Amino acid sequence: MTWEPLEGQTVEFGDCRELLKQLEPGSVDLIYTDPPYRIKAHLEEGDSTFGVSSNEAYKYGVRVNKKGEPSVKTYGEGGAFVPYDEWLKPSVKALGNSGYLVVWETPKALGYLIPALIDAGLEIVQSIVWHVPNRQSFWQGQAKGKHDIAILCKIPGTKPPKGSGPIDCIRHASLQPVLGNDEGSSGVPGAKPIAVVESWVKWLCPEGGLVVDPFLGSGTTLLAAWMNNIRGVGFEIEEERKDVISQRLKSGQTKLAGLGAWC
């Protein structure tokens, strides 16, 4: 189902691995995304050391048994891991001969992400840290993490963007708790504040260009695109996120109008 919550911004509900393949090769300027952080893989494992799983669970995003051997696959559900190559390869095809890709990851998974980016044919440009002053989580067996990392890559040969991008060590509070709906369903894990996203999108995508977010969540990327006269397409597997996306985009517009709503 195609939905246009804001002018020039389109949402398709479904699995990005299929939807990315439908994009015309070379039609996209920027892929900006924030894939699920393996949350269900950990939770379903029923592991008291939530957040500390074996390397196999991290690499493949699968549940592991007590011996650390892969058991049932959990990817394909919202919130569960999607193997990198399954969305990176169609993303690279959609970028064509030039363009950028920005992906957020938890620091622990970078050892798996970076080879996958290179394998997909991307050139790593740099990494940027978002320092999250209000991060709540303090998982058993881990020091308290206070940052996330974004990796900026490009199709080899892409010309450098004009102007300057975000400055490393972005310092901005996370959105916690993230919007849920009145029935009490959970909100979107890892939703980014607009300030963390907008500087990237306007730097790496020309006005009138096209940004695609394969893992849309609450719709932050589309709000950033709309604010900068950029066309946006977002893919989201969970159709129940429609209300959250609608609320998010509306609140962003209200904030821009000076009414101070949540953004």
Ligand X SMILES: C[S@@+](CC[C@H](N)C(=O)[O-])C[C@H]1O[C@@H](n2cnc3c(N)ncnc32)[C@H](O)[C@@H]1O
Interface with ligand X (CB under 6 A): 15-17, 34, 36, 78-79, 82, 188-192, 214-215, 217-218, 220, 235-238, 241
CA distances from 139 to 133, 191, 209 (A): 16, 19, 40
Which residue lies nearer to ligand X by CB, 66 or 112?
Answer: 112
Least Å from the CB of residue 10 to ligand X: 14
Nearer to ligand X, 152 or 188 (CB): 188
Q: Which is nearer to ligand X, 17 or 231 (CB)?
A: 17
Minimum gap (Å) between residue 156 Cβ and ligand X: 26
Pick from 204, 143, 200, 196: nearest CA to 174: 196
Residue 245 beta carbon to ligand X: minimum distance, rounded to whole angstroms: 8
Specify the residue, 78 or 166, whose C-beta has the smaller distance to ligand X. 78
Q: Which tokens is 202 given?
A: 């306007």
User: In angstroms, rounded to a whole number, what is the distance separating the alpha carbons of residues 162 and 46?
Assistant: 48
Q: How far is the CB of 141 from ligand X (least distance, A)?
A: 23
State the residue number with the nearest CB to ligand X: 217
d(CA 153, CA 85): 15
Least gap, CB of 92 to ligand X (angstroms): 17
Nearer to ligand X among residue 79 and residue 166 (C-beta):
79
Give buried/exposed letters for 6-42 (b at 16+ CB in 10 A, else e): beebbbbbebbbebbeebeeeebbbbbbbbbbbbbbb
